[in-house]
Amino acid sequence: MVASLVEAGVKRVVISPGSRNAPLTYALADAAQAGYLQLRVVVDERSAAFVALGASRSDWLHEGLARPAVAVMTSGSAVANAHPAVVEADAAGVPLIILSADRPHALVNTGASQTTVQTGIFGAATRYQADLGDTSASGAVANQVRRAVAAASGRLSLDPGPVHLNVRLAPPLAPAAPWQVPYLEPKTQWLRTCKPLVEQLNEVTVSQVGYRLGLDPARRGVIVVGDNDDAQLAHYAAALAHAWGWPLLAEPTSLVRTNANAVAAYSALLAGGDGSASGDGAQLSQEIEQLLVVGHPTLTRPISALLAREDIYQVVLTSRARWSDVSGCAAYVTTLEQALSSLNIPGGGAGAGVSGDTGAGAGAGVGVGKNAPSPLWLQRWLQAGQQQLNATSVTKAARMALTTWQATSQYKTHSQSTAIHSDSLESSVTLMAASSMTIRYLDAGLPAGKQLKKMPGPVVANRGLAGIDGTISTAVGLAWASGQPVRVIIGDLAAAHDLTGLVKAVTENEVDLQVIVLDDHGGKIFSGLEYGASELSNYFLRFFTTAQQVDFAQAAAAFGAHVEVIDDVDGLQSLLSKPIAGRSLVHVKLV
């Protein structure tokens, strides 16, 4: 099993200690000793699975390689604890392997200790699953491992995600002697790569792809870029925006927020204070004739409303077999590789393209006028966005979040890690934002385009299901796999949910991780939604804000992290200018 994982390209494994998975643990330890694997021990299986998810995300961000990390655990409830990370990996398309140990078949449903039905435990979330017995031939095991790695990576399907390998083991569970690891040859043929298509995207081919998508540069268009970790899609969106003079409505994790065409405060621009389009935003919105949608745009309601409009011709450009089109308004869906291939451009690749919902977009734009719309179209968006940003009131929590972002963009490190996302990696620290108010503070309050000047390193958020669980643990995985510092910006509820992610076994190496907890005493995201209405105030504090009694400083210190407590912007700025070394937590008291 372990030899097959190594030869299929697996590099990192997170182990949660247990008895039934002991044979796997011994073999993994011997393979790591031989230099084939990197291991990390995490006691809590829930946290461990998110650490593995973060490690997988790191490989894609920094190497352009969809290499699944593995989370290994014993039998019973240990396996169920991985479920939150599995469903996030499913929704976000992150490669992940859950390798669970199990009892022999004869013990299932007999009342045997730590024995449950583990096969199928993750339901429809997995791309592949296999149930292997302890007597399985090595060839059969290798066959299943290769299939699992390819499925997790999306190598053949363009549908990366989690897989589950369940291994039934019977005593003896301890080896008589260490495994003499043979020579192993790791291969990447089972792994999906981010193909370097950038050199094929010159000014001519950028427009040709646009025509192939049925888009017309002579009509007013907008490019919406949601959460996106694909550098090639980001490059194309930016290139088309430049070539055709289209505005970019880009989320912080889109990889194009610094593009000159990116619009600041775009969500507030599209929606007035009452949630309906008003003023300049209303006029601009009504003039939109076509949309190019990239990534997973789920951050704001105004964008969701825009994507639900049936009067706009919409095209989705995706890198995966699954795509975002909640309202079913997309007229055409395809991959960048498929679009390039249809132009007979060398290197476009056959890939597993996605056909259009109606087929109406395929080639429909060929032959249209190649003159971009008046530059006033873009200028109006940029000016209106800047005016909206200037008029936006900033809360203390938002100011702290924006201060953290600014400090991270100026962070200097001597790391030599190579990254592929040139638009987003001007410095090598990673910023991870929790998927609640913190990412929205950044989206609403950050400048865009030239005003932003530069971003931090990769900006990451678990936006697959947009849950608050596992944020700190995911960041641990990012820091461990990349060897680079990671800064987390997180609210108090999300921090409380995953505070044990800071726990480190005494045998494990430190990671450079700084957690900034913006403590506004509860879930303030609900204040701006219908649940915060005055007539519902009797329910609000107990059932929605749900402030917790957590002393973050004492809790983090108990876990061995360095702790700072501050309550003002000056104190935060001073602290953020210092190097990130080891695990630390900064408790920012907002109330």
Residue 359 confidence (pLDDT) above 50 = no
pLDDT of residue 277: 57
Q: Indicate whether 203 pLDDT > 90.
A: no
* Confidence at residue 362, expressed as pLDDT on a 0 to 100 scale: 36
Phi-psi region of 295 (alpha: psi -120 to 50; beta: other; left: phi over 0): left
What pLDDT sits at residue 560? 96
Q: How confident is the model at residue 494 (pLDDT cuts 50, 70, 90)?
A: very high
User: Would you say residue 368 has pLDDT above 80?
Assistant: no
Report which of 333, 21, 374, 384 is spatially closest to residue 158, judged by C-alpha positions: 333
CA 543 vs. chain centroid, Å, equals 29
pLDDT at 447: 82
Given this chain, do its domains 198-341+374-380 and 393-414+424-589 carry the same CATH topology?
yes
Indicate the helix (H) or strand (E) that contains 89. Answer: helix 83-92
How confident is the model at residue 361, as a pLDDT?
39
- Fold of the domain spanning 393-414+424-589: Rossmann fold (3.40.50)
Q: How confident is the model at residue 233 (pLDDT cuts 50, 70, 90)?
A: very high
* Reported confidence tier of residue 345, pLDDT bands at 50, 70, 90: low
Per-residue confidence (pLDDT) for residue 272, from 0 to 100: 65
Confidence of residue 37 (pLDDT cuts 50, 70, 90): very high
User: Cβ-count burial of 36 within 10 angstroms (0-12 exposed, 13-18 middle, 19+ buried)?
Assistant: buried
The Cα 465–Cα 462 span in angstroms is: 7
| Residue in the block written with tokens 């030599």 | 416
Task: For residue 532, report the phi and psi dihedrals to the nearest 5 degrees.
Answer: -90, 5
What is the model's pLDDT at position 337? 86
- Where along the chain do its domains lie? 1-168, 198-341+374-380, 393-414+424-589
Burial of 368 (0-12, 13-18, 19+ CB in 10 A): middle
With helix as H, strand as E and coil as C, how does 32-48 read? HHCCCCEEEECCCHHHH
Cα–Cα nearest to 552, from 527, 520, 524, 575? 520
- In this predicted model, what pLDDT tens digit does every residue of 531-542 receive, in sequence order? 888 888 899 889
Q: Between these two residues, 36 and 134, which has the higher pLDDT value? A: 36
Q: Which CATH architecture has domain 198-341+374-380?
A: 3-Layer(aba) Sandwich (3.40)
- Do the Cβ atoms of 513 and 94 come closer than 8 Å? no
Q: Closest Cα to residue 254, out of 464, 459, 450? A: 459
Query: Residue 566: helix, strand or coil by DSSP?
Result: strand
Query: Could you give the strand order of the β-sheet that contains 96-102, starting from the edge strand earlier in sequence?
Result: 38-41, 12-15, 69-73, 96-102, 162-168, 128-132
User: What is the reported pLDDT for 408?
Assistant: 85
Looking at residue 320, its amino acid is R
Least confident of 42-51, 278-287, 576-585: 278-287
pLDDT over 60 (residue 373): yes
8 Å CB contact between 543 and 566 = no
Residue from 38, 24, 320 nearest 153 by CA: 320
Select from 3.40.50.970, 1.20.58.220, 3.40.630.30, 3.40.30.10 the CATH code of 1-168: 3.40.50.970
- Residues 113, 86: Cα–Cα separation, whole Å: 25
pLDDT at 419 over 80: no
State residue 453's pLDDT score. 61
pLDDT of residue 531: 87
